[in-house]
């Protein structure tokens, strides 16, 4: 994870906030492995498509060999998602922001809630804490 943080700071921008690390089980598929999740906020002069290219390059350098296909997930050593980008709404083939499934995932919302509990989802109209609270426990 430290290599990912360093790569982001070298290529994309300054990490201004970082949540604690959250260990979770696989969601959406079966795995014997645990997953480590966190959320960061980055100040960048780049646009969202440029950030996507750089994060995907970083994922590959850190050992990621494939992306999920048709929402079929599997273990991966690194997965960097763009959850929000300046509160923009982006709907491109390779990039959808806000992340289209973040509001359904506690492993995303719990770390995000540490650094941005009041950040309001521009489509759903609820803040991070509200989104997390509405998930089944």
Catalytic residue among 18, 76, 101, 120: 76
Alpha carbon distance 52, 58 (integer Å): 10
Token readout for 7 is: 């790569």
Residue 111 burial class via C-beta count within 10 angstroms: exposed 0-12, middle 13-18, buried 19 and up: buried
DSSP state of 102: G
Catalytic residue among 18, 64, 101, 137: 64
Catalytic residue among 32, 81, 120, 137: 81
| Contact (CB, 8 A) for 104 and 119 | no
Catalytic (active site) residue 101: no
Give kind and range of the element (H or E) at residue 80: none
Catalytic (active site) residue 76: yes
Catalytic residue among 79, 105, 120, 137: 79
Catalytic (active site) residue 137: no
Alpha carbon distance 133, 130 (integer Å): 5
Catalytic (active site) residue 11: no
User: What is the set of active-site residues?
Assistant: 64, 76, 79, 81
């Amino acid at each position: 994870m430290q290599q990912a943080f360093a790569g982001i700071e070298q290529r994309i921008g300054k990490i201004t906030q970082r949540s604690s690390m959250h260990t979770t089980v696989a969601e959406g598929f079966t795995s014997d492995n645990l997953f480590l999740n966190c959320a960061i906020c980055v100040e960048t002069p780049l646009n969202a498509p440029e950030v996507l290219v750089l994060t995907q390059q970083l994922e590959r350098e850190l050992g990621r060999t494939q992306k999920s296909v048709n929402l079929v997930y599997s273990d991966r050593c690194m997965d960097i998602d763009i959850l929000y980008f300046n509160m923009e709404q982006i709907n491109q083939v390779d990039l959808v922001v806000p992340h289209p499934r973040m509001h359904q995932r506690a492993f995303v919302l719990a770390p995000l809630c540490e650094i941005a509990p009041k950040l309001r989802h521009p489509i759903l109209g609820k803040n991070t804490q509200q989104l997390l609270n509405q998930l089944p426990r």
